[in-house]
Amino acid sequence: MFRRIFATALLAGFLGGIGISVVHEFTTTPIILHAEQFEGKSSVPEQKQSKSGNPLLILAHGKSSGAAEDGHEAWGPANAWERTLFTTIANIITGVGFALILVACFSLSSGNINGRTGVIWGMAGFGVMSLAPALGLPPEVPGALTAELVPRQGWWFLCVAATAAGLWMLVFRTGGIWIVAGIVLIALPHIVGAPQPARIGGAVPPELADHFAAASLATAAIFWSLLGWLSGTFWQRFEERS
């Protein structure tokens, strides 16, 4: 069983990471490159800008034009092939991690899993990991003003956990009490509210920031659909072989 889980997750995550890296080159990457021309030019220097103190985003999207807190510029991959390489590596690692979550759910599910049902699980993952958190913390283009990183991370984890638990109650439980509890859990993080910066704005034009948020969500939907289909397909194939 464990060999089947890890083999499915590794194959699905690797192929899904490669595939979404190609999509990124035509969707979010051009917007990021455009936004980096404005990054670091904010008229409110005391506000945090997105990518500040976030090693994963620096690794995936390159150097920030703003200085680090100690006065030195943080390391990041250069443009062209180096940026593409590190972005692809980050996407593969993310894909394998998310595929492990999907396949673990497959193993606990009593239903028949194939490519089509895998897409349904993948879209559920998109709703939990991307769509629900975006209602409070939409994807931020580099250079946008943001709240402190730790409170944002805490709210994100709360939103993901509450949304996942709420969906589980709505889908896999029966009875009015479960329906009410599921709805309350899904709504709870948004009632609490996500951390927001003291001032909205930044050097990046709002039209570019809106475009990035929309492109990021669309790309995430593609990623989760692809990952779900690959995970479901490989899960079924390995079951037939065993």
DSSP 79-127: TTHHHHHHHHHHHHHHHHHHHHHHHHHHHH--S---HHHHHHHHHHHHI
CB-count exposure of residue 214 (10 Å: 0-12, 13-18, 19+): middle
CB 64 within 8 Å of CB 49:
yes
CB atoms inside a 10 Å sphere around CB 155: 20
Q: Give the per-residue pLDDT at 144.
A: 77
CB 52 within 8 Å of CB 149:
yes
Q: What is the mean pLDDT of residues 39-64?
A: 45
Which range is most confident: 35-39, 46-50, 165-169, 172-176? 165-169
Structure tokens at 119: 């897409």
Flag whether pLDDT at 65 surpasses 80.
no
Structure tokens at 216: 């990021």
* DSSP structure class, residue 130: I
What average pLDDT does the chain have? 83
Residue 196 pLDDT grade (very low, low, confident, very high; cuts 50, 70, 90): confident
DSSP 207-223: HHHHHHHHHHHHHHHHH
- Rounded to whole angstroms, the Cα distance separating 174 from 92 reads 37
Q: Give the per-residue pLDDT at 214.
A: 93
Residue 24 dihedral angles phi and psi, to the nearest 5°: -60, -35
Structure tokens at 15: 């192929």
Q: Give the per-residue pLDDT at 74.
A: 54
Residue 226 pLDDT grade (very low, low, confident, very high; cuts 50, 70, 90): very high
Residue 146 pLDDT grade (very low, low, confident, very high; cuts 50, 70, 90): confident
Flag whether pLDDT at 7 surpasses 60.
yes
Q: Which residues contact 196 (CB under 8 A, 6 or more apart)?
A: 147
Q: What is the mean pLDDT of residues 44-68?
A: 42
- Rounded to whole angstroms, the Cα distance separating 190 from 169 reads 18
Residue 200 pLDDT grade (very low, low, confident, very high; cuts 50, 70, 90): confident
- Rounded to whole angstroms, the Cα distance separating 31 from 27 reads 7
CB 12 within 8 Å of CB 121:
no
Q: Give the per-residue pLDDT at 160.
A: 96
Residue 4 pLDDT grade (very low, low, confident, very high; cuts 50, 70, 90): confident
* Cα-only R_g, the chain: 19
Residue 159 belongs to what H/E stretch? helix 149-172
Q: Give the per-residue pLDDT at 52.
A: 38
Q: What is the mean pLDDT of residues 78-87?
A: 78
Structure tokens at 168: 């589980």
Flag whether pLDDT at 89 surpasses 90.
yes
Q: Give the per-residue pLDDT at 38.
A: 77
- Rounded to whole angstroms, the Cα distance separating 67 from 70 reads 8
